[in-house]
Chain A
């Protein structure tokens, strides 16, 4: 690797004096800065896009870009693993509402990003990945640390670019950044061959602009709006289904106003958590496999489903045959390809969520007559409450821990999670009232998202907000090395490991569907996470009993820096309600014997 750094010195040495002006410190205003090489143009493009923070790991092919970051206003956070960089960038993007940026070198650096890129892609999260590549004349020769990165990431990016020219590479990076957040967001990637990064250019990159064709019209065509409005007005059992698109599209104000104005009960998807306050009387929380019974009853019985910014994932719908089967489906989405992909839209309305909700609102001459339906929803809420049994002599219930942290934090606290049972409890037993406060891996379901996600969220959020990561013992172990980053940067995050010494979600399925054969799901060789935390330089706490919970919650939140709380929870606890995969939403089970 070191020999490949050689040309760097040559290429930059012969240039005029090492004037830091080119990479400028003026931040966002440096669009006009004159870069010296492709790498400086890349950094200038990021600065002109307003990028403040980037996550990554160094390496041979990306070294020129890192060198250009040296004098930059961009705060670079070195992660322990590129997967961590991608998840951190993703979460940073979710919390700020602008694309997170991650960097990696060629080959293994780039492939380590892949999980995080795929994760962002499934959740329509804006993110820009920059990868180094071997020099152009070596591409295709199976050179050291070469991977066909654009080939590998084509199916998991909104679009990717192979930069081929030093004079335009800055424009390409700007375009990739802008494209990532335009319309339906998604990750983009620019692969940067080393010679392109090193190549001379004195052209300042153009301001970031997405390709003209990629800018969708925010407004829906009035006819489709009118048709949708007419159906909504005559509905007797209308139901709003708010998905992640409501949050990504910054449409929570419009969504809340719409549902309240017309007295329409609201169900969210899991990515839509926070789009509507869960403590509002109209809110039935989230629907789907582990959603609330009342949300799933409402979905099953609605006659008019107003679905906004959702892609009808199978974890939401169960079997489509029984998904909102009697409903006229109004589907609002910015991406026309989502319309009728999984569930047929009787009333497709293509446009920006907030704009379209305002349009429909304006077209509605009266609110639907839904008094009886609202009562029915309330009855379901009473019939199928979310609860669990607490016995002081038994191991601590994980749900109790989630509720304790919720009670001890403000509404604007941010929760991140790994994937598994703990993720479901974090989604079920925390009352979310604000958008961008539940940051999780939804579509891809990536174990290990929690800690790097918390790091990204922490760097994105104001200091006075709490960031709590609920993790599973299995998930935590997958990216635990990022604790070193949290310690180095002294990031105030609280990782709460709901430690059941199982990869619990798998065990739950084995109990339910594999006659209790716990093949490879027992994790009774777990380290002591509190001690491990101390070894990393973080604070460690351990909880075994109910009466320890309150103190540890308070102490861990009060600690100004990273802390890990190893909570030994009831290992037998399972997640309910549960709609079996491919089953009917309304037939959720409340206990294993109902499956």
Chain B
């Protein structure tokens, strides 16, 4: 064993950071976490949701919310995931998702994508007028009103929902149920790469949303009955 001891050997001076990225001594910038909205088009088959959520927990991706629902294509569903990760983490999450056999396509949404969430809030019914006023203010809807409780529904982006929840606190919130965000890409761009609309019962399902900011808030036609 003629070679020098470990501390006497020539050692490289360069370094990588914990993500395995070469550290540029001048820049040396660390990756900050950011929030990303990922949309996965999947085969709508049993177990697909548990595969996706299992993947996220197993790999310790930081997941904020997850929503699922069918698309215009028969047999397809869309899973919308909000994750908070570093850029390499987001990249890895997308690639790992795409490896799952039932996953058809994965896209990360642009920051201007249309996003919405729905919240149900049950508050004390002692001040119905004031509750109504706040509900109006957030363009919400009263779903149930009794002498003791009032339940309202608010839809909108995350910020609006957070604000609304804050505003309702004064009445004493009894219960809350939030769906988590769901989202679509704006305009002509498909939400996941290569995605094409199917022949849905609704006919012209591809009507472009206008650039009008209120689009998301008006798109709640099914809660009337």
Contacting residues, chain B, for A341 (C-beta < 8 A): 92
Measured in the bound complex, the distance between the Cα atoms of B2 and A25 in whole Å is: 64
Stretch at the interface among A50-58, A321-329, A366-374: A321-329
B20: which of A158, A214, A344 is its contact (CB, 8 Å)? A344
Contacting residues, chain A, for B10 (C-beta < 8 A): 301, 586
A325: which of B12, B54, B104 is its contact (CB, 8 Å)? B12
Residues 7 to 65 of chain B near chain A (Cβ within 8 Å): 7, 9-22, 46-47, 50-51, 54-55, 58
CB proximity of A213 to chain B, nearest CB, Å: 7
Interface of B, helix, strand, loop or mixed by DSSP = loop
B101 and A586 contacting across the interface, CB-CB below 8 Å? no
A337 and B17 contacting across the interface, CB-CB below 8 Å? no
Among A317, A321, A384, A584, residue most surrounded by chain B Cβ atoms (within 10 Å): A321
Stretch at the interface among A240-248, A356-364, A587-595: A587-595
Q: With A154-B47, A343-B20 given, can you name 10 additional A-B contacts, CB distance below 8 Å?
A: A155-B58, A162-B46, A301-B10, A323-B16, A325-B13, A325-B16, A337-B99, A340-B88, A594-B5, A594-B6
Measured in the bound complex, the distance between the Cα atoms of B47 and A380 in whole Å is: 53
CB proximity of B22 to chain A, nearest CB, Å: 7
A222 at the interface (CB under 8 A from B): no
B residues contacting A by CB (< 8 A) are 1-7, 9-22, 46-47, 50-51, 54-55, 58, 88, 91-92, 95-96, 98-101, 104
A383 at the interface (CB under 8 A from B): yes
Residues 163 to 217 of chain A near chain B (Cβ within 8 Å): 179, 211, 213-214
CB proximity of A562 to chain B, nearest CB, Å: 39
Give per-residue flags for A117-149: 1 if the beta carbon is below 8 A from chain B beta carbons, else 0.
000000000000000000000000000000000
CB proximity of B86 to chain A, nearest CB, Å: 12
A154 and B11 contacting across the interface, CB-CB below 8 Å? no
B57's nearest neighbour on chain A, judged by CB, is: A155
B3 and A179 contacting across the interface, CB-CB below 8 Å? no
Measured in the bound complex, the distance between the Cα atoms of B188 and A375 in whole Å is: 59
A335 and B46 contacting across the interface, CB-CB below 8 Å? no
Residues 382 to 396 of chain A near chain B (Cβ within 8 Å): 382-385, 387
Q: List 15 A-B contacts (CB under 8 A).
A: A155-B58, A159-B100, A179-B101, A300-B11, A320-B18, A321-B16, A336-B95, A337-B95, A337-B96, A337-B98, A339-B95, A344-B22, A384-B1, A586-B6, A590-B3
Measured in the bound complex, the distance between the Cα atoms of B16 and A382 in whole Å is: 29
Contacting residues, chain A, for B20 (C-beta < 8 A): 312, 317, 320, 323, 340, 342-344
Contacting residues, chain A, for B3 (C-beta < 8 A): 293, 380, 383-384, 590
A297: which of B9, B17, B46, B54 is its contact (CB, 8 Å)? B9
Give the size category of A's interface with B. 35 or more
A residues contacting B by CB (< 8 A) are 150-151, 154-155, 158-159, 162, 179, 211, 213-214, 293, 297, 300-301, 312, 317, 320-323, 325-326, 335-337, 339-344, 346, 380, 382-385, 387, 584, 586-591, 594
Q: A321-B18, A326-B12, A340-B88 are in contact. Are A211 and B101 (CB under 8 A)?
A: yes
B101 and A587 contacting across the interface, CB-CB below 8 Å? no
Contacting residues, chain A, for B55 (C-beta < 8 A): 155
A588: which of B6, B51, B100, B101 is its contact (CB, 8 Å)? B6
A159 and B21 contacting across the interface, CB-CB below 8 Å? no
Measured in the bound complex, the distance between the Cα atoms of B17 and A586 in whole Å is: 17
A213 and B104 contacting across the interface, CB-CB below 8 Å? yes
Measured in the bound complex, the distance between the Cα atoms of B19 and A317 in whole Å is: 12
Measured in the bound complex, the distance between the Cα atoms of B20 and A321 in whole Å is: 6
A301 and B21 contacting across the interface, CB-CB below 8 Å? no
Q: A154-B51, A337-B96, A344-B21 are in contact. Are A325 and B6 (CB under 8 A)?
A: no
Contacting residues, chain A, for B50 (C-beta < 8 A): 151, 154
B46's nearest neighbour on chain A, judged by CB, is: A162
Q: A151-B50, A383-B3, A594-B5 are in contact. Are A325 and B14 (CB under 8 A)?
A: yes
CB proximity of B104 to chain A, nearest CB, Å: 7
Contacting residues, chain A, for B101 (C-beta < 8 A): 158-159, 179, 211, 213-214
A380's nearest neighbour on chain B, judged by CB, is: B3
Measured in the bound complex, the distance between the Cα atoms of B50 and A150 in whole Å is: 11
Measured in the bound complex, the distance between the Cα atoms of B20 and A312 in whole Å is: 10
Measured in the bound complex, the distance between the Cα atoms of B4 and A154 in whole Å is: 48
CB proximity of A126 to chain B, nearest CB, Å: 15
Contacting residues, chain A, for B7 (C-beta < 8 A): 587
Contacting residues, chain B, for A342 (C-beta < 8 A): 20
Measured in the bound complex, the distance between the Cα atoms of B5 and A588 in whole Å is: 9
CB proximity of A407 to chain B, nearest CB, Å: 24
Measured in the bound complex, the distance between the Cα atoms of B2 and A382 in whole Å is: 8
B100's nearest neighbour on chain A, judged by CB, is: A159
Measured in the bound complex, the distance between the Cα atoms of B20 and A584 in whole Å is: 13
B9's nearest neighbour on chain A, judged by CB, is: A586
CB proximity of A46 to chain B, nearest CB, Å: 20
Contacting residues, chain A, for B22 (C-beta < 8 A): 325, 344, 346
Contacting residues, chain B, for A179 (C-beta < 8 A): 101
* Closest CB pairs A-B (n = 4): A383-B3, A337-B95, A325-B14, A343-B20
Measured in the bound complex, the distance between the Cα atoms of B96 and A151 in whole Å is: 18
Measured in the bound complex, the distance between the Cα atoms of B20 and A3 in whole Å is: 58
B95 and A587 contacting across the interface, CB-CB below 8 Å? no
CB proximity of B193 to chain A, nearest CB, Å: 12
Contacting residues, chain A, for B91 (C-beta < 8 A): 340
Contacting residues, chain A, for B5 (C-beta < 8 A): 594
Contacting residues, chain B, for A387 (C-beta < 8 A): 1
Contacting residues, chain B, for A385 (C-beta < 8 A): 1
A155 and B95 contacting across the interface, CB-CB below 8 Å? no
Contacting residues, chain A, for B95 (C-beta < 8 A): 336-337, 339
Contacting residues, chain B, for A214 (C-beta < 8 A): 101
Contacting residues, chain B, for A382 (C-beta < 8 A): 2
CB proximity of B8 to chain A, nearest CB, Å: 11
A587 and B9 contacting across the interface, CB-CB below 8 Å? yes
A301 and B12 contacting across the interface, CB-CB below 8 Å? yes
CB proximity of B96 to chain A, nearest CB, Å: 5
Measured in the bound complex, the distance between the Cα atoms of B92 and A343 in whole Å is: 12
B12 and A344 contacting across the interface, CB-CB below 8 Å? no
A587 and B15 contacting across the interface, CB-CB below 8 Å? no
Contacting residues, chain B, for A339 (C-beta < 8 A): 95
